[in-house]
């Protein structure tokens, strides 16, 4: 994949992650601290987390298309790195109560769910683009027989 397309895909992923992280933070915050009060700076938290979560996605970059097994290995490495990044943030935060195992498990589970959803949405988008391209190629082939 050319680097320009890779960067565009990462920007799309950034906005997708920002939304999914905002939902996850809202749900977990409501469950663990429903009476908590947040300042305006809290609106930036999902954006910051999404930006940090883009860093591990760099392991999937390749100039040529990866075989399925290599891509799967890179995605697994990426998931491990994502879990590490988010758990590092949690354990170094003064706001997140990581002394509670349930909080840590919910954070790790949220990362996994967001990872699966982001990959699913990306696959659906790529699948729709591939179907359209195949239809266009078939139409082009029919016209030029």
Query: What are the structural domain ranges in the chain?
Result: 3-143
Longest distance between any two alpha carbons in the chain, whole Å: 69
Alpha helix (H) ranges present in 33-67?
A: 45-54
Give the residue with greater pLDDT, 5 vs 117.
Answer: 117
Is 64:36 a contact under the CB 8 Å cutoff? Answer: no
Q: How many CB atoms lie within 10 A of CB 118?
A: 19
Least confident of 29-43, 45-59, 127-141: 29-43
Q: What is the pLDDT of residue 62?
A: 87
Mean pLDDT score of the chain: 93
DSSP string, 99-121: TSHHHHHHHHHHHHHHHHHHHHH
**HEC string for 70-88:** HHHHHHHHHHHHHHHHHHH
83-115: pLDDT as tens digits: 999 999 999 998 889 999 999 999 999 999 999
65-77: pLDDT as tens digits: 899 999 999 999 9
- Cα(128)–Cα(126) distance, integer angstroms: 5
């Amino acid at each position: 994949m050319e680097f320009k397309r890779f960067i565009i895909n990462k920007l799309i992923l950034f906005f997708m992650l920002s939304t999914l992280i905002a939902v996850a933070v809202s749900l977990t915050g409501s469950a663990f601290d429903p009476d908590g009060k947040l300042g305006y700076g809290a609106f930036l938290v999902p954006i910051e987390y999404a930006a940090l979560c883009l860093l591990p996605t760099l392991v999937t970059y390749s100039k040529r298309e990866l075989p399925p097994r290599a891509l799967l290995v890179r995605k697994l490495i990426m998931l491990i790195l994502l879990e590490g990044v988010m758990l590092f943030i949690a354990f170094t935060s003064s706001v997140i109560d990581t002394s509670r195992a349930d909080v840590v498990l919910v954070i790790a589970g949220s990362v996994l769910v967001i990872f699966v959803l982001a990959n699913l949405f990306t696959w659906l988008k790529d699948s729709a683009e591939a179907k359209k391209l195949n239809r266009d190629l078939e139409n082009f082939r029919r016209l030029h027989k």
